[in-house]
């Protein structure tokens, strides 16, 4: 279930969706400029069997197949997903947050106080 949410978030982020399309060989889905941009960073990423974009650890070289490279432990995700459970982001995202005395902060991101 978590990986499905991550795949969904990745597909909503344009540069990640473009890079996944490039790595999967779907060049018809990309403009020439998007393909050029993806080609510059493609060696640093791969798409796993579940459709997650993962960073490849270690220096990539043309004589080392992708299957022999190390895999990053975390998928690439948009900042909003990474920060959705971080304490500093909770008030900004409009979640109800309590301070140490139990005073509830406003639900409005504009009215929330810094934790």
Give per-residue pLDDT as tens, 36-88.
999 999 999 999 998 999 998 765 444 444 444 444 555 665 554 444 444 44
Q: What percent of the chain has pLDDT over 90?
A: 35
What is the chain's mean pLDDT, rounded? Answer: 68
Q: How far is CA 51 from the centre of its chain?
A: 12
Phi, psi (deg, nearest 5) at residue 10: -65, -40
Has this prediction a pTM greater than 0.85?
Answer: no
- Tell me how far apart the alpha carbons of residues 55 and 75 are, in angstroms, rounded to a whole number: 7
Q: With beta carbons less than 8 A apart as the criterion, state whether 50 and 1 touch.
A: no
Q: With beta carbons less than 8 A apart as the criterion, state whether 99 and 105 touch.
A: yes
């Amino acid at each position: 279930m978590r990986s499905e949410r991550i795949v969904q978030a990745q597909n909503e982020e344009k540069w990640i969706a473009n890079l996944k399309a490039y790595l999967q060989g779907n060049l018809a889905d990309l403009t020439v400029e998007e393909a050029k941009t993806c080609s510059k960073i493609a060696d640093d990423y791969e798409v796993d069997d579940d459709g997650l974009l993962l960073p490849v650890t270690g220096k990539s070289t043309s004589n080392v197949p992708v299957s022999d490279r190390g895999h990053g432990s975390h998928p690439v995700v948009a900042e909003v997903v990474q920060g959705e459970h971080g304490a500093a982001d909770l008030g900004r995202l409009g979640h109800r947050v309590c301070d140490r005395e139990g005073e509830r902060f406003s639900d409005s991101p504009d009215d929330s106080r810094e934790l």
